Amino acid sequence: MMNNVTNEFRGRPEPEATAAPTRPRHGRPIAMVVLSCAVFLVPSLAALPRKPVVLPGAAVSATPRAAASTASAPAAAGAAASAPVATTTDLGQWCARLAPAVPGVDASGCRASGLQPGAGRSVHGVPLWANDVLPAAGAPKFKVLLLGGIHGDELASVSLVFDWIARSKGVKASAMPHPSKTARPTIADVAWRFVPLLNPDGLLHSPSTRVNAHGVDLNRNFPTADWARDAQPYWIRHTKKDPRRFPGPQALSEPESRWLLAQIDQFHPDLIVSVHAPYGLLDFDGPPPAPRRLGSLQLDPVGVYPGSLGNYGGLVKNVPVMTLELKNARAVPPRELAAMWNDLQRWLNEQMTNPGTQASAQRSPVPGTKAVNAGRRVD
């Protein structure tokens, strides 16, 4: 006797199949009913598409080998299988993944950049690519760390770094033989470390996001002297818990910010250039002098924030931090890219040829770098 038969295909219990053994409600034996259902349902169920089973805690492979095996799957999954894997350490595959997402970056120029994956990884395991362009001969007289894509939705910052990689290589290629020790240094004596995209998870998200995969604003996650005291209160009171500016649960909670600090400690830059958008100004934190302009961007110091790179580099490490706030978050006109590059070269030449204006531990930060300007939000 069946008192409460569950209908698997409707998702609800059927009424009792029979009230008593002597009063059957169906004219046919139950076995015949089950057999009939099986005849009609089995072929239909067999034709339904099946989803792969992923066990709890199982990781999805993102290696080139896994990508290759996926590419051999049926044509129904062909589009996804042929997409470059973001976690690849092959520069060609990475460029094929990045170029369609960033206006102004093409795959061939990306491949020519010479970027290396290194050991750094984002939250999602994407390599943090970087490249050094060193003087053609001799030790560098000045070191510049150039950063783009700290915020994943500021695409123009990424394209600027790629453009300047190519320009720096042009300077190196056209450099004269290294001058004697008594000669004045030139722009060819500058060593560059380029990091075009610090926040790949944010940029590759659809849509791109300012924060990383943990929802943390990387430019509020650096270990500034005021982080423990001010970072969370500032986020709560001044930004009203704006999720785009969440500083994280603690300083250096994110793998991207920890990796960048390691780069600063290892490379020992004389200048950090951090590219952002879209406020259209030039900010400067740390030991002066600051350039008055780069291209159309006028110097306008706006202060520092708890956990910001300008605060950490300029005030904690005593390394000048030049923040370029581009006017548009998606693209930079080619003429503006060239103008900013040329103005930066002139400023660097001044720093190398006039030792009295170089950054030193005795110099104080430029006005405006010690106080937070709550009325203005940049970087």
Measured CA to CA, the distance from residue 291 to residue 324 in angstroms comes to 11
Give the angle 275-266-193 at the CA atoms, nearest 5°: 40
Q: Where in the chain is the domain with CATH 3.40.630.10?
A: 86-357
pLDDT tens series, the chain, 379 aa: 444 333 332 333 333 333 334 344 444 444 444 334 444 443 443 444 433 333 233 333 333 333 333 333 333 333 333 457 789 999 999 999 999 999 999 999 999 999 999 999 999 999 999 999 999 888 999 999 999 999 999 999 999 999 999 999 988 666 544 444 445 678 889 999 999 999 999 999 999 999 999 999 999 999 999 999 999 999 999 999 999 999 999 999 999 999 999 999 999 999 999 999 999 999 999 998 999 999 999 999 999 999 999 999 999 999 999 999 999 999 999 999 999 999 999 999 998 887 545 443 333 344 333 444 444 556 6
Distance CA 281, CA 322 (A): 11
What is this structure's pTM? 0.74
Q: How far apart are the first and last CA of the chain?
A: 73
Residue 112 C-beta-side C-alpha neighbours within 13 Å: 14
Does domain 86-357 correspond to CATH entry 3.40.630.10? yes
Please report which helix (H) or strand (E) contains residue 194, including its range: strand 190-195
DSSP, collapsed to helix, strand or coil, labels residue 324 as strand
